[in-house]
Structure 1
Amino acid sequence: MWVALSLSIVVGVLDGFGLAMFIPLLQLVSGNEEIDPDSLGGLSFLLEGMTTVGLPLSLASVLLIILVFFSFKGILGFWRTYYLVLIKLYFTRVVRFKNIDGLARFSYVSFVQSNAGAIQNTMSAEMGRLSNAFGSYSATLQSAVMVLVYVSLALITNPRFTILVVIGAILSNLLYRQVYVITKKNSLAISKGGHLFHGLMIQMVSFFKYFKSTGYAKIYSKKLKSAVLTIEKSYRTIGYYDALLKATREPMIIAVVAAVILIQVTFLSAELNGIILSLLFFYRSLSYIMALQNSWNAFLNTSGAIENMKEFLHELKSGQEYWGDIVVEHLDQSIELKNISFAYGSKAVLQNISLTIPKNKTLAFVGESGSGKTTLMSIITGLLQPATGSISIDGVDYKEIKLDALQRKIGYITQEPIIYTDTIFNNISQWAEKTPDSLERFWYAAEQASVADFIASLEHKEESELGNNGIQISGGQKQRIAIARELFKDIDILLMDEATSALDSKTEKEIQENIERLQGQYTILVIAHRISTVQKADEIILLSDGTLKARGPFDELIENSEQFRSMAKLQVL
């Protein structure tokens, strides 16, 4: 920024020198044989410099000097403007990257407690406002420097006149302070209103099918419209005061200059000729004074985005998850949980869970709703940290490992599979570069997930588009594509959280057969709600009220656990 400000000073000085040379130019055009050096006041050294280097004080030489000054001004002005563009792009990129990196390291616990609308709004619309705020702030500094340069030149030319005008300008500017306060307040309101609107929009898009099928879309749209009107009100207030500033600014400045001229000539007996050049500089600075106030008000219009971004970055930083330094390449032996407990607030969810998960074994977690199955799964993936106890992989505590390296070896299939609005290849490969190797891995993963024949039957095969969230394919195909995606990643652990509960019995059976074919190749952890999907698991873990009630193969639990036997009989799972 200092480079740009320095260039602005030089540009302003060159412009001022060029303007000053119009005074001798006018004298020569008026027929004067000699130029009066006093007409330039403190800038008479320009004429002296011409004489020193051997340039005659003629019409041609004066025009040449004017051309030189303004040519250099144009060249430096170009580099100043382009440099500011680069600085603004760099600033925007740095903040965006900080947001992206911060969100990537944001802990799951912090995320579920945050405002999704605020995250969406801050990383999209608020970034645009922040970039505009930076541009307006830069423009304010540039205008301030230019005004300072012209005032300095005017001060050199006619000190008394300049001081009076500056005092008048400062006093008149005090009238606008309350306007600036109101503008900043409404800018903050716009940021908060944006958070609300984006939060409502996320829900509208996520639950669109429900809203349409229940006739609630029109009712919910009223909430969206109310948020829009709230934002509009703040913008309208800012627009009103911005219009007021623009309408009164120039007349106010002209009134100050006119009053000073009147005082100088009437009461201080000053010669009008002595203030012409200073007046020329002030007239030149008038546009920059107006630009300064315009850009400052524009900065205040978007200043709410600065406060919001500072709060957001602080939230991301305070909610970061901290990892160890040990990189776990693969699961070689087992994952071990010792005396694990977890609570949401004062409500205990898991109590003293001890469990060993051997490599390439299939474990099924069963239990009624609220028994702690999903929470236990989240602890195994590293999304949640236990309140007490420890969890380790191959004897290394989770606190000592780089969790993101471990998590890249985990595949996670949920009841509602994640399907991107993209091609099948990008859904499975997650935007890997399309090479012979990645294509081979793609088709191998598709074969393992029993979805290869379906893909091959499509007109565009792996390049077929799946539509919005996979709307063009069935639930069973979504699950198969989701499984293929996890297998493409070269995982060690496959987690399935009620992955087949939303499917019909026939499709569920087909998906279950796919999973059974993977047994022995991966460590598979399954949360199931139907007994039929866990019968062939190596071990079944029965949870009840956050405690481990029983464990063992299916036949053993049927024989030894009354609770499991009752659940199997009633198909509560």
Structure 2
Amino acid sequence: MKKRESGRLVYFKYFYSKLGYKVFIALFLSLCVGLLDGFGLAMFLPLLQMVGDTDTVSSGEELGGLQFLISGLESLGVQLNLQTVLFVIMFFFIFKGVTKFCQGYYNVLTQQYFIRKLRLTYAKMLGNYSYKSFVNVDSGMVQNTMGGEMGRVSTAFKNYFSTIQSGVLVAVYLGLAIATNFQFAILVAIGGTLSNLVYNRIYKKTKLTSKKITKGGHIYQGLLIQNVAFYKYLRATGLMSLFYDKMKVAIEYIERSNKKIGFYNSLVVAAREPLVITVVVIVILIQVNLFSENISAIVLSLLFFYRSLNSLVELQNHWNNFLNVTGSLDNVIEFGQQLAKAQDKKGNEEFLGLNNSIKLEDVSFGYFEDKVLQKINLDIQAKSTVAFVGESGSGKTTLVNLIAGLFDADTGKILIDDKDLCKIDKLSFQKKIGYITQEPVIFSDTIFNNITAWSEKSPENQEKFWKALKKAAIDDFVKELPEREDSKLGNNGIQVSGGQKQRLAIARELYKETEILVMDEATSALDSETEKIIQKNIDQLKGQLTILIIAHRLSTIRTADKIILLKNGNIEAVGSYSELIVESEKFKKMVQLQEV
């Protein structure tokens, strides 16, 4: 947020960037409501003049600058008497009611359009957020911003435009008042300025407290995510009570901030009527005693004055309510800017399949200043099986993530069939990648939807589904379930064991029409017998897919075409299993240690 710019202007620019012309339609409707209300009120003076004498014809002189209403009606051939004035008043207020309905409903439509567009835009940007940036972001902040904060931004939007619409009404009533009695404008300016001084101090405290609520929300959401993710560990180790204490501190922090907001809101609401009445009384005394005005001559100007003060106080209330949630709005704006700055670059060339090879030429990469990988040169032939081994932190997973397009190389090139990966459409490329990790991804949905990624339940897809389950050695388990493929797996697969989750995750990737299969120690959670079955099925895929294996169990990569031994971000040795046993003392020692 640029401090040198007015906060109101910055927020208006932000809303306008999302809504465009819709902003001005809303303001135009507010203008119409104010004018129709003002004209309807103005017609009460001729009505009062006629009370007791239904045959009296109004001259309109008592309307001052609004006399054009009377002359306009007369030019249309309407003679003003009690009946016609009543009908004119009724017309103005009926038309005002229709316009008020249009304004209110249009505000609802605009608000819903805004929040829908905001959520969809942020969801899309989050989906294309640079993975390098994502791994360094606070998950609690992301959860809180995309969840609760969006609701508070919807409230901010509503109150911001209610503030502007109240401002339009103030301007309308002031304009009508000036047309009726110029002295009135001076008094309103003084009254408005004085009342604004009362509220300014409250506004500052409200905005500061709003930022504290947003900060507390980030902390609480982060703790909540960890509580759910590590629930089993926290319960098993007796740490849940300690974690509860941390959550209690965050909850009480939010509570204190919300209490402060409530105090300031109550103060603003309580001061509304006394402030309006005080200013009205002062205006009447000044008009009658100082300017020697007849009370009947200032009735209309006082009516507009009271209306304008009500709109002014409503403006102040809406503005204070807006300030209650500015912390959330600022946070959402800043998060949007953060997402926009780190969007993944997409090439234009569609990936149709891997035909020849994947090459890395002088590729270096680091999450921060230190490089995890340094000048990697590598050639992976299509439909070959390549394993990556090395100590923890040697760069195995990072290297495979680069090949999968999760990261962009800091320097050097990654070539897919001699085409720079940066120029290839990543979505079309990654749709052809199967990725099986040590921690299997299980969605809170049915088995069928988990395996098929929510595909249509057609006979063809069901046949593919059961074939994938069989290859992953999980088909018998699914057939024994009461609801078979329609069984729910629960949050993160809570209904099944770790080995079953792993086999289901493997089945999902086997179901896809992948070109490249990445296995990050995919069989580590399985028993020896099941591991052998799956390993046999995966071995059958040799020569059909390009298989990249991040290996910790070296016994699982004996049949790999090529093994890459990494150390401190550099390739130390390359060869088959039998070649490295002979040529690399490091690899030989690693094998011997695992065989002990």
Shift of 1:506: 2.9
- How far apart are the structure 2 equivalents of 1:570 and 1:45? 100
User: Could you say which residue in structure 1 is the equivalent of 2:27?
Assistant: 5
User: Could you say which residue in structure 2 is the equivalent of 1:209?
Assistant: 232
Q: Which amino acid aligns with 1:363?
A: V
**For residues 312-334 of structure 1, what are the alpha-carbon distances to aligned partners after superposition, in whole Å with 9 as ceiling and x for unaligned?**
11211222222332222111111
Q: Which amino acid aligns with 2:44?
A: F
Shift of 1:348: 4.3
- How far apart are the structure 1 equivalents of 2:25 and 2:282? 37
Q: Which amino acid aligns with 1:62?
A: V
Shift of 1:363: 1.5
Q: Which amino acid aligns with 1:105?
A: N
**For residues 364-410 of structure 1, what are the alpha-carbon distances to aligned partners after superposition, in whole Å with 9 as ceiling and x for unaligned?**
22222222211211121122333443221111122222222211111
Verify: 1:316 aligned to 2:316, yes or no: no
Q: How is 1:161-560 mapped onto 2 (pairs within 5 angstroms)?
A: 161-345=184-368, 347-560=370-583
**For residues 452-471 of structure 1, what are the alpha-carbon distances to aligned partners after superposition, in whole Å with 9 as ceiling and x for unaligned?**
33323322222111111111
- How far apart are the structure 2 equivalents of 1:91 and 1:249? 31
Does the 8 Å CA contact 1:162/1:278 hold for their aligned counterparts?
no
Q: Which amino acid aligns with 1:510?
A: I
Q: Which amino acid aligns with 1:170?
A: T
Does the 8 Å CA contact 2:435/2:509 hold for their aligned counterparts?
yes
- How far apart are the structure 1 equivalents of 2:491 and 2:366? 37
Does the 8 Å CA contact 1:169/1:256 hold for their aligned counterparts?
no
Shift of 1:136: 0.5
- How far apart are the structure 2 equivalents of 1:479 and 1:109? 26
Counterpart of 1:93 in 2: which secondary structure?
helix
Shift of 1:300: 0.9
- How far apart are the structure 2 equivalents of 1:138 and 1:233? 28
Counterpart of 1:269 in 2: which secondary structure?
coil
User: Could you say which residue in structure 2 is the equivalent of 1:564?
Assistant: 587
- How far apart are the structure 2 equivalents of 1:226 and 1:572? 50
- Cα distance change of structure 1 residues 267 and 402 upon mapping to structure 2, 3 Å threshold: same
User: Could you say which residue in structure 2 is the equivalent of 1:17?
Assistant: 39
Aligned length: 573
User: Could you say which residue in structure 2 is the equivalent of 1:133?
Assistant: 156
- Cα distance change of structure 1 residues 45 and 479 upon mapping to structure 2, 3 Å threshold: same
Counterpart of 1:44 in 2: which secondary structure?
helix
Q: Which amino acid aligns with 2:35?
A: V
- How far apart are the structure 2 equivalents of 1:353 and 1:172? 69
TM-score by length of 1: 0.95
Task: Specify every segment of 5 or more residues in structure 1 that has no aligned partner in the other structure, as ranges.
Answer: none
Q: Which amino acid aligns with 2:269?
A: K
Q: Which amino acid aligns with 2:578?
A: D
Q: Which amino acid aligns with 2:335?
A: F
**For residues 456-514 of structure 1, what are the alpha-carbon distances to aligned partners after superposition, in whole Å with 9 as ceiling and x for unaligned?**
33222221111111111122221221122122331101111111223333333333223
Shift of 1:360: 1.6
Q: Which amino acid aligns with 2:105?
A: Y
Q: How is 1:38-187 mapped onto 2 (pairs within 5 angstroms)?
A: 38-187=61-210
Does the 8 Å CA contact 2:192/2:312 hold for their aligned counterparts?
no
* Identity percentage of aligned residues: 52
Q: Which amino acid aligns with 1:570?
A: L
Does the 8 Å CA contact 1:368/1:572 hold for their aligned counterparts?
no
- How far apart are the structure 2 equivalents of 1:434 and 1:174? 66
Shift of 1:420: 0.4
Does the 8 Å CA contact 1:530/1:572 hold for their aligned counterparts?
no
Shift of 1:347: 4.2
Counterpart of 1:384 in 2: which secondary structure?
coil
Shift of 1:36: 5.7
TM-score by length of 2: 0.91
- How far apart are the structure 2 equivalents of 1:406 and 1:188? 42
- Cα distance change of structure 1 residues 9 and 341 upon mapping to structure 2, 3 Å threshold: closer
Counterpart of 1:503 in 2: which secondary structure?
coil
- How far apart are the structure 2 equivalents of 1:346 and 1:299? 41
Q: Which amino acid aligns with 2:31?
A: I
- How far apart are the structure 2 equivalents of 1:69 and 1:348? 73
Shift of 1:33: 4.5
Does the 8 Å CA contact 1:155/1:163 hold for their aligned counterparts?
no
Q: Which amino acid aligns with 2:524?
A: S
Counterpart of 1:383 in 2: which secondary structure?
coil
Shift of 1:298: 0.8
- How far apart are the structure 2 equivalents of 1:345 and 1:28? 83
- Cα distance change of structure 1 residues 546 and 134 upon mapping to structure 2, 3 Å threshold: same
- How far apart are the structure 2 equivalents of 1:343 and 1:239? 47
Counterpart of 1:4 in 2: which secondary structure?
helix
Counterpart of 1:340 in 2: which secondary structure?
strand
Shift of 1:216: 0.8
Shift of 1:554: 2.3
Q: Which amino acid aligns with 2:139?
A: A
Shift of 1:212: 0.9
- How far apart are the structure 2 equivalents of 1:290 and 1:572? 80
Q: Which stretch shifts more, 234-243 or 546-555?
A: 546-555
Counterpart of 1:551 in 2: which secondary structure?
strand
Q: Which amino acid aligns with 2:86?
A: L
- How far apart are the structure 2 equivalents of 1:159 and 1:340? 76
- Cα distance change of structure 1 residues 387 and 263 upon mapping to structure 2, 3 Å threshold: closer
- How far apart are the structure 1 equivalents of 2:501 and 2:282? 78
User: Could you say which residue in structure 1 is the equivalent of 2:8?
Assistant: none
Counterpart of 2:322 in 1: which secondary structure?
helix
Does the 8 Å CA contact 1:364/1:537 hold for their aligned counterparts?
yes
Does the 8 Å CA contact 1:158/1:274 hold for their aligned counterparts?
no
- Cα distance change of structure 1 residues 344 and 20 upon mapping to structure 2, 3 Å threshold: closer
Q: Which amino acid aligns with 2:454?
A: W
Counterpart of 1:27 in 2: which secondary structure?
helix
Task: Specify every segment of 5 or more residues in structure 2 that has no aligned partner in the other structure, as ranges.
Answer: 1-22
- Cα distance change of structure 1 residues 161 and 385 upon mapping to structure 2, 3 Å threshold: closer
Counterpart of 1:363 in 2: which secondary structure?
strand
- How far apart are the structure 1 equivalents of 2:229 and 2:146? 19
- How far apart are the structure 2 equivalents of 1:121 and 1:4? 30
Does the 8 Å CA contact 2:54/2:81 hold for their aligned counterparts?
no
Does the 8 Å CA contact 1:501/1:528 hold for their aligned counterparts?
no
Counterpart of 1:389 in 2: which secondary structure?
strand
Verify: 1:30 aligned to 2:52, yes or no: yes
Across the aligned residues of Structure 1 and Structure 2, the Cα RMSD in angstroms comes to 2.1
